[in-house]
Amino acid sequence: MDIALFIPILRQILQALGGLLVGYGYFDETGWTAASGLIINLVTTGWWLYDRWQINRANRAVKEVAKDAVGPAVVKQVVNEATGTTS
C-alpha cells in the first residue's frame, strides 16, 4: 500500500475514533486534533524512514554487484563523477 492511499484512510479512522472519544468525554476537540496530528506525523515519519532504509539497502546491493562486475576502481570513478567529489 502506498502512503498516499494510507494516510487518508488513517485520517478517517482517527476522525471516527476521535468522535467517539470526544463524545464520551475522554478528550476535548482541541486535544484530539493535536493527538491525531501527532499520530499522522509519527506514522508518516516512520513510513519515510522505513522507505529510505529499503532504498539504501537496495543501493548497497547494487553497489556490491557493480564492484564485483567491473571492479572497485571503476565504481569509485562513477560515484565520484555522479556526486562531483574527488575522493
CB-based burial, 34-70: b 16+ in 10 Å, e otherwise = eebeeeeeeeeeeeeeeeeeeeeeeeeeeeeeeeeee
Digit-coded pLDDT (tens) for 19-38: 999 999 999 999 999 999 99
Total domains in the chain come to: 1
Q: At how many degrees (to 10) do helices 72-83 and 29-70 cross?
A: 140
Digit-coded pLDDT (tens) for 60-74: 887 777 777 777 777
DSSP string, 20-43: HHHHTTSS-HHHHHHHHHHHHHHH
The CA–CA distances, whole Å, from 68 to 27, 57, 61, 77, 86 equal: 59, 17, 11, 15, 22
pTM exceeding 0.75: no
Containing domain of residue 58, as a range?
Answer: 3-83
